[in-house]
Amino acid sequence: MNYDGATHRAVLQTAEVGYGVTDPHGRLRWVNRSLADLLGLPMEQAVGHSLPALLPGVPEGPADTPTVISCSGADQGQRWLEVRCSQISCEEASDHRELLYAAIDVTAWRERELEVAQQTYAMRRAQVLGKMGNWEWFLEDDRVIWSDALIDMLGHNGPGNMGFAEYATHVHPEDRPEMDRVIKRALRNGERYNYVHRVIQDGDETERVFECFGEVIRDEDGSPIRLLGTAHDITQVHHVHSELLRLSEEDPLTGLPNRRALTRALEQQLATGEDGALLLLDLDNFKDVNDLRGHAVGDRVMRTLASVLRERLDDTRTIGRLGGDEFAVVMPKATIEEADALGIELADAVSSLPVVAGGAAATKMTVSIGVAPFSSGSGWEAVLANADLALYASKNAGRNRVTVYDQTHYADTAKRVSVLDRLRNALDNGLLALHAMPMVDLLNGRTVGYELLLRLEDGIEPWLGPGEFLPAAERTDMILEIDRWVMNQAIQALHENVTPGLRFNVNVSGRTLDDTSFAPFVLDRLNAARVAPGRLGLEITETAAVTNLDAARSLAEQLRAAGCRITLDDFGAGFGSFVHLKHLPITGLKIDGEFVRNIDKGSRDAVLVTGIMEIARGLGLSAVAEWVERPAQVDALARLGVRVAQGFYVGKPRPLSTLLARPPRITASRLTVDSGA
C-alpha cells in the first residue's frame, strides 16, 4: 500500500514525538504540533528560529547519543526532554545542511528515576544508620548482589562481585558450620532462616557480631532459585547482653561463677550420667575477720582465697562462690579418693596464707571442706545437701579438715530437716510473727517508717532466730513462700491501719529476685487492698542485688514504676558498691552498720559515710544508718548530714500487733543532738 506525502505529514502532525527540520542555516523551516507544544509556541511562530536558541543545551549538530535537557515553561513547570539530532540531507558545501530533530518529553520517567535514586539513597542511609545490609544470591549462576551498606559492614577490601564462598571467609571459623547447616536446611525445606555469627573484618582485629535473617525463593517446580538475606550488626547489643549475662552469673567480688552458674554446671554434669564429686569449702571463723578487721580486709581475704583455689584446679573442674565465705568445686569423673586428695591440697594451700591488717599480727586462715560423691540419678539439691552435711561434720570435728559424706551424718540431716519442718508447721499454722523496728528522724525524733523483721514463735526449744532458720529456708523454695507471707501480712496491716505516715519496709531474699511472678503478686495485693504503693518499701541486700543484677533490676523497675520504694540494704558491704547504683532503679540506701559502729570514735568511717551521703544527695536517694546504739553515734551522724537511723538506741523492735494496737510516740527529747549539726 502506498501513502502520499499528505498522509506522511498527517502522521507526523499527530505523533507524540516532536519533530523539527532546520534549513541549511540552522533555522527551523518545519515543526510538527508536538514540538511546537514542547516549545510552548504556535507552529508558525516556531518556524524561523534556531532550535538551540529556543532550547538551550540541545545539540547543534548530529550526535550518536540523545541529549537530555531541562527546560521550564510558565504553564508547564520544570520538564525534561530527550533530544536526538541527525542529518537528513547534505549539499556540496559542508556548511549547508539540513538537520532533523526529534524530541520526547521524558519528565515522568526522569522524575521517577530521581525518586528511585532518592529512595535508594534513603534506603542506603537507613541501612548505614541502622547497621543493616542485605544480599540476593542467584543460585543458578552463583552470583550474589550485595548492598553497599553490607560491604561497608564487612570491611571488605576486595572486588564488589564476591561470591558467597568469599563472604564466608569473613565469618569466624567457629561459626561457619552453623551458618552452613542453617542455610542448607533452608534450601532443603524452603523455610525462613536466621543465625548469628561473628565477623572478621579485613585489616581490623575488632570482632563484630551479625544477626542474619533470610528466605528462599523457589520456581514453579519448587526448586530454590534465589536466597534473600539481611544482616544486622548487633555487636553493641551482643556485648551488653554478654556483660549482663556475665554479671548475672559471676560473683562481683571474686570473679568466680556465682551460685546460679555453679549449680547449673553441677546439673549439666549430672545430666551426663557420669560419676564425680562435689567439694564444699567454708572459711573457718571468717566472721571474726570481718568484725575485728573490717569488711575491706574481709573482701581482700575472699579475693586472695579465690585466686589460690583457682590456681590449683585444671580446666576440667569448676569452682564457684556460693555466697559469703562458702565455695564449691565440681569435679567430673573424679573418684572419692581423688576428691579427698584435692580437698586436702586446697586446705593446705589456704592454711599457708597469712592475713595481715595494719600493724596487727598475722592470722592464719583455715578452711573446712565437705566432699559428696555423685552418680547417675542424683539431684543437684541432694548432692549439695550431702556436701553441706559433710562440711558441718568438718566444722563440728574441729575445723581445718576434709570430711567425706557418709550415712553417719544422718543425724545432722535430721536436725536440719527439723528446722524446715518447724518452718513448714509455722507457715501452715500461723506461728510466724512480724516485729517492727522504727526508722527515726534524728533531728525531731519522729518515726518515719518501720522495717518488718521475721520471728519464729512456735514455742519449741531451742529457740531459733532468723540467722538460724532463714539460711535453711533459702536453700529451698520455702523462702519464696515466706517472702510472700511477709509481704501479704505487711500489705494487709497497711490496709487495716490508715494511721498517717505509717510505712513499712519488707526484706526480700535473693532467691525471690528470680521469681518473675513476685512483682505482679505485690502489685495485685496492693491494688486489691487499695493501699497506696508509696506506703510499702522493699529492701534488697546489695550482695543479693549484684549477684543477680538482671532480676534485681527487673523487680525494682516494676515496683518503682507503681510507686513503691526500693532500698539497697547493707550498702557499702560489697565490693565496688557505687558502681551498682548505675544499674538499679532504687529510691534509697541503708548504710551498712559496719560504717556506723565506730562513727563517733574519730575513725575513717566518717569519711566513708560522708561519701555515701554525697552520692545519695547527688542521686536524689534517701539514706538510713543502721546499728545506732548510743547517743554519741546520733551526734556524729547528724553532723555528717544523716537524717534517719535505726538501732536499739532510737527504737527497739516490737511485735507488729502491739505497734498497730498502740502506735508508739518517740519524743524529740530522747534524741538531743549537737546544735551545730
Q: How far apart are CA 207 and CA 172, in angstroms?
A: 9
Joined together, the cell numbers standing for residue 93 give: 558545501
**pLDDT at residue 342 in the model:** 93
**pLDDT at residue 380 in the model:** 83
Which stretches of 405-446 are assigned E, i.e. beta strand? 432-441
**pLDDT > 70: what percent of the chain?**
83
Q: How far apart are CA 17 and CA 23, in angstroms?
A: 20
- 54-68, 201-215, 430-444, 660-674: least confident range: 660-674
**pLDDT at residue 555 in the model:** 93
Q: Is 267 exposed, middle or buried (CB count within 10 Å of its CB: 0-12, 13-18, 19+)? A: middle
**pLDDT at residue 358 in the model:** 46
- 139-143, 199-203, 369-373: least confident range: 199-203
So where are the chain's domains? 5-105, 125-233, 257-405, 434-668
**pLDDT at residue 661 in the model:** 86
For the domain spanning 257-405, the CATH number is 3.30.70.270
Q: How far apart are CA 15 and CA 321, in angstroms?
A: 89
Q: How far apart are CA 454 and CA 436, in angstroms?
A: 9
Interacting residues of 612 by C-beta distance below 8 A, sequence separation 6+? 571, 572, 589, 591, 595, 623
Q: 5-105 and 125-233: same fold?
A: yes
Amino acid present at 406: D
Query: Does residue 576 have a pLDDT over 90?
Result: no
Q: How far apart are CA 152 and CA 131, in angstroms?
A: 10
Query: Does residue 154 have a pLDDT over 60?
Result: yes
Task: Name the residue with higher pLDDT: 132 or 27.
Answer: 27
**pLDDT > 90: what percent of the chain?**
27
Question: What mean pLDDT do residues 490-512 have?
Answer: 91
Interacting residues of 14 by C-beta distance below 8 A, sequence separation 6+? 33
Q: How far apart are CA 228 and CA 145, in angstroms?
A: 10
Is the link from the previous residue into 631 a cis peptide, with omega within 30 of 0? no
Question: What mean pLDDT do residues 68-85 have?
Answer: 78
Q: Summarize pLDDT for 369-388 with one digit per residue, the tens.
A: 999 999 877 788 888 888 98
Q: How far apart are CA 98 and CA 8, in angstroms?
A: 19
Question: What mean pLDDT do residues 302-324 have?
Answer: 88
Q: For residue 96, what pLDDT band results from cuts at 50, 70 and 90? A: low
Q: Summarize pLDDT for 581-618 with one digit per residue, the tens.
A: 777 889 999 998 888 988 988 778 888 898 889 988 98
Task: Give the 3-state DSSP-derived string for 540-592, with helices as H, strands as E and coil as C.
Answer: EEHHHHHHCHHHHHHHHHHHHHHCCEEEEEEECCCCCHHHHCCCCCCCEEEEC
The CATH homologous superfamily of the domain defined by 125-233: PAS domain (3.30.450.20)
**pLDDT at residue 450 in the model:** 96
Query: Does residue 575 have a pLDDT over 80?
Result: no
Distances (CA, A) of 100 to 22, 40, 63, 507: 7, 19, 11, 95
The CATH homologous superfamily of the domain defined by 434-668: EAL domain (3.20.20.450)
- Strands 565-571 and 536-541 turn out to be parallel
Cα–chain center distance at 593:
32
Cβ-contact 621, 590 below 8 angstroms: no
Question: What mean pLDDT do residues 94-119 have?
Answer: 75
Cβ-contact 135, 146 below 8 angstroms: yes
* SS3 label, residue 178: helix
Paired with 84 in beta bridges are 102
Paired with 279 in beta bridges are 329, 371
Count CB atoms within 10 A of the CB of residue 288: 11
Most distant CA pair in the chain: distance in Å? 133
Interacting residues of 49 by C-beta distance below 8 A, sequence separation 6+? 27, 28
Question: What mean pLDDT do residues 102-127 have?
Answer: 72
Q: How far apart are CA 145 and CA 137, in angstroms?
A: 6
**pLDDT at residue 1 in the model:** 47
Going by the DSSP 8-state scheme, the letter that residue 318 receives in this structure is: E
Residue among 476, 581, 551, 542 at smallest CA distance from 245 = 551
The mean pLDDT value of the chain amounts to 82
Q: For residue 504, what pLDDT band results from cuts at 50, 70 and 90? A: very high
**pLDDT at residue 360 in the model:** 44
Q: Summarize pLDDT for 264-306 with one digit per residue, the tens.
A: 889 888 888 889 999 999 988 776 666 566 777 778 888 888 8
Which stretches of 284-383 are assigned E, i.e. beta strand? 318-323, 326-332, 354-355, 363-364, 367-374
Claim: this prediction has a pTM higher than 0.75: no
Q: Summarize pLDDT for 662-677 with one digit per residue, the tens.
A: 755 544 434 544 333 2
Phi, psi angle pair for 156, to nearest 5°: -75, 125
* SS3 label, residue 128: helix
- Sequence length of the chain is 677
CA dihedral 645, 650, 653, 658 (to 10 degrees): -120
Tell which CATH classification among 3.30.450.20, 3.30.428.10, 3.20.20.70, 1.20.120.420 matches the domain 5-105: 3.30.450.20
Task: Name the residue with higher pLDDT: 132 or 54.
Answer: 54
CA dihedral 562, 563, 569, 575 (to 10 degrees): 70
Residue among 327, 200, 313, 331 at smallest CA distance from 277 = 331
